[in-house]
Chain A
Amino acid sequence: MPDLEQFRADTRSWLEENCPETMRQPMMDESDMVGGGRKPTFKHPDQKLWMERMAAKGWTVPTWPKQYGGGGLDKHEAKILREEMSSLQCRAPLQGMGISMLGPALLEYGSEAQKLQHLPKIANGDIWWCQGYSEPGAGSDLASLQTKAEEKDDYFLVNGSKVWTSGADKADWIFCLVRTDNSGSKHHGISFLLFDMTSPGVSVKPILLISGRSPFCETFFDDVKVPKENLMGEQDKGWSIAKYLLTHEREMISGFGRGASKKFCETAVEAIGLEHGRLADPVLRNDIAKLELNILAFAKTMERVGDETKSGKGLGAASSIFKYYGTELNKTRCELMIDVNGEQAMGWEGDNYAGGHFSRTWLRSKGNSIEGGTSEVQLNIIAKRVLGL
């Protein structure tokens, strides 16, 4: 225990010294996130500095082993780092599908060579990854995917198309589900491939989202040659890797339900004001009270599940609710954010309207209950796997 206290003190002073002031401001929207990559974009030079300093310590991925570019921290140390970062309001130095989705899958299923090749580059922000799962005909029913990979001498020949591929226009590499066998059940014959987006035959076409941004794309594969050593796990048995990765994706997305550093009701009081100690709009007050209550109860549930896991009880059934509940909660919060800030919040461009911050965030939140498996699919999973219906 004294070691942990020392670790906390050291961590805090290191963060205080190394985290630039600008990186301790709340993120306004997606443009404040750092994703790295071969052609990284930084809105502010401090973003680069902060990412590099954290990467040098392995703290972009604190729990990964050191030989793969991680910080080698145990659960307790990682928790301390999280707590200290949040108390100083430090931004995440680097985010993306490499860190939160592919990395954990590589650690579990990748070969040693694949881990050494990819993990350090993810940790340092050198490579930006995208996810090639959904297809025009395979959304919720992901296992019906048809992008074909034919086995040739020392490579797979990939043909087909993906859709809703977030960040494909900026990504350097893709982790991609392909069909290597069509003869059995739909869950059999799926393989998990990793390949460079600059490979000949790969092309992308951005799709504009309702939030006015274009983070997702159609992705086409036309005779793309993927070396055999880029197959992760066993051929035809990629479905379990796909699902494993999805649990990490859902965990990441459900974090949105956790709430912001500033309490929603404080924002509401600033915007609307009090009358006799109560929010001046009684109908909104009621809705906001319900929201705050559920944010609190959701946070307590994440805490409880975390504590249960730490005490050796294993990941309980409660974790199955996170993606569903967290995203629905976040959508409610975004709707109320509009109500609280009034019609101004519907502004789209220009400084008066925070550059459309509210309206764009509100619109983007609608995707939370679709991406990574829709709310309905999450309810199906709970009904079948947890309740046995």
Chain B
Amino acid sequence: MPLVLNEEQEMLKSSAAGFLAEKAPVSALRKLRDDRDAAGFSRALWEEMSEMGWAGIAIPEAYGGLEYGYVGLGLILEEMGRQLSVSPLQSSVMVGASLINIGGSEAHKRTLLPAVAEGKLLITLALQEGLHHAPEKTALKAIASGDNFILTGKKVLVMDAHVADKIVVAARTSGNAGDAEGISLFLLDAKTEGLSRERVIMVDSRNSGNVVLDNVSVSKADLIGDLNGGMAILEQVLDIANACLSAELLGLSLQAYEATIEYLKQRSQFGVLIGSFQALQHRAADMFAELELCKSMVLASLQAIDNGEDNVSLMAAATKAKLCEVAERVTNEAVQMHGGIGMTDEFDMGFYMKRARVAQQTFGGYSYQLDRFASLNGF
């Protein structure tokens, strides 16, 4: 498959760009933050997005989706990155729906996916326990008891935890923390007895949350995938999530970069435009080169997912590592090259830097991904 967007994809991208610029620009994020909005996103807007099919973009047609693939989802996320639009697209579609679609039973898919595609059901994943992303270190215990499992423990950094309807919890059913084997995935209703949620507002003004499970009972029927076989499902979902987060990082980096180039053409010091200083020109040109590499990697890894290629993990790790490196550099330079104004809350650039860091860390940052890339290459 050629590394270019087809006409349909180009159209999706430009219509998403237009829609988001109008309805979900950075000023909307700022307003959500300043109003201390209870949901942390606009439900009315999410409804509109869902009506356009975005919530079902990567869900198979058989389950009420558009079956447009992850290239499609990535294009929307890239544009959302440009505008820093807030929505449950990442928690519920990129992660939740992918998880059900990959690991769920036919019954799970039939009951859950159409509701996700309509934007009526939010599913999120509760995975992380410690400071860092390390899925194999899952320790939260699920102890068999008759036809049920009893779950006790705490999860952190659960996207949109406080507004989710369903939460998939990764729990240890055998072995020890650190073993890839022995992790199982349980689908829980967010209102289950013994489950409590605490909203955590992140530096990028988005929602994360802690989920505490205190002797929560869950039926075997709510197991996603095989008992002890959760890791294989998680790996696939995390590859998808990291490729998609890379698309978001690409969008926000391009936006921050382009705004900076514009500023270099407007701001004068010493009687000349600051863009005429070679010290800034060379850094700008070098970042241009890096961003071109990022574009290629994002598209290549999303295509690899859609084509079911056998190097998806390697491509996802490589892409996320590259985007972590470049997004960090570009957002830092964007603030630096704006001088004092870049440090003000009133100016938008800070939002880009904040969002970049959260997206970088989500499901494994630079060092995690580079290490994974090396291991997948056999060294």
Interface residues of A (CB under 8 A from B): 263, 265-266, 268-269, 274, 277-279, 285-286, 288-290, 292-294, 296-298, 300-301, 303-304, 307-308, 310-311, 313, 317-318, 321, 324-325, 376, 378-380, 382-384, 386-389
B379 proximity list for chain A (CB < 8 A): 265, 268-269, 274, 278-279, 285, 288-289
Given contacts A296-B318, A379-B282, is CB(A387)–CB(B261) below 8 Å?
Answer: yes
B192: A residues at CB distance < 8 A: none
Q: Which residues of A contact B271 (CB under 8 A)?
A: none
Task: Identify the stretch in B17-25, B247-255, B293-301, B341-349 within 8 Å (CB) of chain A at 4 or more residues.
Answer: B293-301
- Does residue B46 face the partner (Cβ distance < 8 Å to A)? no
A365 to B351 alpha-carbon distance, docked (Å): 42
Could you tell me the distance in whole angstroms from the C-beta of B313 to the nearest C-beta in chain A? 14
How far is A386 from B284 in the complex, measured between Cα atoms in Å?
Answer: 11
**A380 CA / B285 CA spacing, docked (Å):** 8
Q: Are the CB atoms of A311 and B371 closer together than 8 Å? A: no
Closest residue on chain B to residue A297 by CB atoms: B293
What mask results when residues 1 to 29 of chain B are scored 1 for a CB within 8 Å of chain A, else 0? Answer: 01110000000000000000000000000
Please provide the 9 A-B residue pairs with the shortest distance between their CB atoms, ordered closest to farther: A383-B281, A382-B285, A321-B289, A307-B2, A300-B296, A304-B3, A297-B293, A289-B374, A389-B275
Give A292 to B268 CA distance when docked, in angstroms. 40
User: Which B positions have Cβ atoms within 8 angstroms of A?
Assistant: 2-4, 261, 264-265, 275-276, 278, 280-282, 284-286, 288-289, 292-297, 299-300, 318, 321-322, 370-371, 373-375, 377-379
Q: Is the CB of A379 within 8 A of B370?
A: no
CB proximity of A256 to chain B, nearest CB, Å: 16
Contact A289 B371 (CB under 8 A): yes
| A293-B373 contact in complex given A278-B379, A383-B285, C-beta closer than 8 Å | yes
Tally of A-B Cβ pairs under 8 angstroms? 122
From known contacts A288-B374, A290-B370, infer whether A303 and B285 are also in contact, taking CB-CB under 8 Å. no
Q: With A293-B321, A297-B297, A321-B292 as given contacts, are A279 and B374 in contact (CB-CB < 8 Å)?
A: yes
* Given known A-B contacts A265-B378, A279-B379, A297-B297, A307 and B3 have beta carbons under 8 A apart: yes
CB atoms of A380 and B281 under 8 A apart: yes
Q: How far is the CB of A316 from chain B (nearest CB, A)?
A: 9
The answer for the CA separation of A369 and B32 in the assembled complex, in Å, is 49
B293 x A387 contact (CB < 8 A): no
Which of the residues A269, A300, A386 comes within 8 Å of B288, measured between beta carbons? Answer: A386
